[in-house]
Amino acid sequence: MAEPARRLQPIDTTAEIETPEHVRFHYPVAGPARRVVAYLIDLLIRGAILVVFAILALLGGLAVGDAVSGLSTGFLLVIHFLLEWVYYTLWEVAWNGRTPGKRALDLRVVTAFGHPLRIGDSFLRNLLRAADFLPFGYAFGLVAMARDGRFRRLGDMVAGTMVIVEERRAVASAIRIDPPPTPKELANLPQRLPLSGDELEAIELFLRRKDGLGPAREEELAAMVAPLFASRMGIRNKDAARLLALIHARSRERRRPA
C-alpha cells in the first residue's frame, strides 16, 4: 500500500499556528542575530536617556549646591531602575509588541498563538531578563534560543510569547495601459465578462510582469489564452496582448463604485 503523501511543513524559521477554527497562519520567526541588533538599538536609547538625566542632575546639583547631591544620586538610580525594568514593557504595550529597536528591525512580540501581546505577558517576559542574562551577556538566553525551534529565550518560554518578523508589503500600483483603451475598443467587450476571478487575476499578473518579458515572449504567452477568451466572448482580435489589457480595463471598470 502506498504511503500517504505528507503535508509540506513550513521551513525551520517559520512558526505555524492553527486557530480553533482550524485556520493555519505562518509567521517568520526572528533569529538571534536580528534580535541582538534590536537589543543594541534599545540599549543605546536607554543609555542616551540616562546620560541626559545625569547631565540634568549634575546641572541641578551645581545650581543648588551639595545639599541635594544625595537626592540627585537617588534620582538617577530611580531612572536607571525604570529604564532597566519598565522600558521594554512600556514600549511593548504602547506599540503593540514593539520597542524602538524592534520597530527598526521590523520585529514584533506576539503570544505563542499569534495573538497581540498583553501587559501581563510583556511584564513576565521582561521580568525574566535577569535569568536570561546569567551568568553574563545573556548567555542563558542565547543557549535557550539556540535549542528552541522558535528562538525563544527563557522569558518567552515562561510568558508564552515569541518574536516574529513583520514582512512589509508594498501596495501594488495601478496597471497602466499604453495606449489607453478607447471607448470603441471597450464597447466591443461584453458588459459582463464570462471570466472567473482566477482568470482575471492571471491576466493582471501577466500585465504586471510583461514589462520584464521580451516582445516575443509576451506575445507567446498572450496567444496561449487570448484566443480562448475571444472565442468565449464571441469577438475577433488580432492582438492577443492588447485583448488581455482591454479585458483587464473592463474588469476594473466594473469594480468601480457607481
> What is the model's pTM?
0.60
- Per-residue buried b or exposed e for 95-104, using 16+ beta carbons within 10 Å of the residue's own CB: eebbbebbbe
Whether residue 125 contacts residue 141, with contact meaning beta carbons closer than 8 Å, is answered with no
The alpha-carbon radius of gyration of the chain (Å, integer) is: 29
Whether residue 76 contacts residue 139, with contact meaning beta carbons closer than 8 Å, is answered with no
- Per-residue buried b or exposed e for 236-251, using 16+ beta carbons within 10 Å of the residue's own CB: ebeebbbbbbbbbbbb
Distance CA 73, CA 105 (A): 35
pLDDT of residue 10: 42
Burial of 62 (0-12, 13-18, 19+ CB in 10 A): exposed
Q: For each successive 10 residues of the chain (258 residues), what is the average pLDDT?
A: 41 61 70 92 95 84 59 81 92 94 94 88 92 88 88 93 80 76 84 84 85 82 88 85 87 62
For 37, residues 6+ apart whose C-beta sits below 8 A from its C-beta are: 101, 105
DSSP letters spanning the chain: -PPPPPPPPPPTTEEEEE-TTS-EEEEEBPPHHHHHHHHHHHHHHHHHHHHHHHHHHHHHHHHH-GGGHHHHHHHHHHHHHHHHHTHHHHHHHHTTS--HHHHHTTEEEEETTSPBPPHHHHHHHHHTHHHHHTTTTTHHHHHHHHHSTT---HHHHHHTEEEEEPPP-PPPPPPP-SSPPPHHHHHTS-SS----HHHHHHHHHHHHHGGGS-HHHHHHHHHHHHHHHHHHHT---S-HHHHHHHHHHHHHHHHS--
pLDDT of residue 69: 59
**Grid cell 471597450 in the structure block, residue:** 186
Distance CA 5, CA 1 (A): 12
